[in-house]
Structure 1
């Protein structure tokens, strides 16, 4: 069984709605209060997980406080972390694909969903209004 087939079987086992957008990339829509979308991509020898949250610009108020808050959130996460990718706040994680089992895959997805559901409200003052309405 290919790595892609294995990951897809994990998504089906979790009963997690998903869409395959290329041979090695899926967008998952796990059960989430905030309607999270998680991108899962195979980049051998790892699987990458990411959720772009919102952009940060020179107009973003008190960015230092935002970054401090994200670092504090990271302290409570087990499998993923907040990061800055160019000007985009993202929640991301990575796992080695060779020995990845269902429990590890499920733990990553659940950790990301928990983070999004519990942290986004606390980031309201930094998120653009258009993002807040849709998330």
Structure 2
């Protein structure tokens, strides 16, 4: 599956009193990285919702923390779809500072229509095709 990179700098507001990243921010960043990933595949979440009432609500998220991040650290998240079922997508997010793995997280999302009552629907074939392209850069 295709891997995309999402990079940013840790802001002061992302840290606690010891200037270490407060753990909920990892979940915020995984969400941002997922939106970046889908946009790179040609499925920008804001456009999908606005034009087709399609969303990708989160069903599950977890994160294993390996070493802390600090204020002004440069971080890159490497995101990859690791499972692509009929209506559900699982993504893995590897957080790195340089070559050091900081954390490894994952999300499970359902491809969902919001026309009327929310309902999971099949993942589009075009997304499957775009995600299956050979990786240019693997972690």
TM-score (norm 1): 0.26
More helix per residue: 1
Higher relative contact order (CA 8 A, sep 6+): 2
TM-score (norm 2): 0.25
More strand per residue: 2
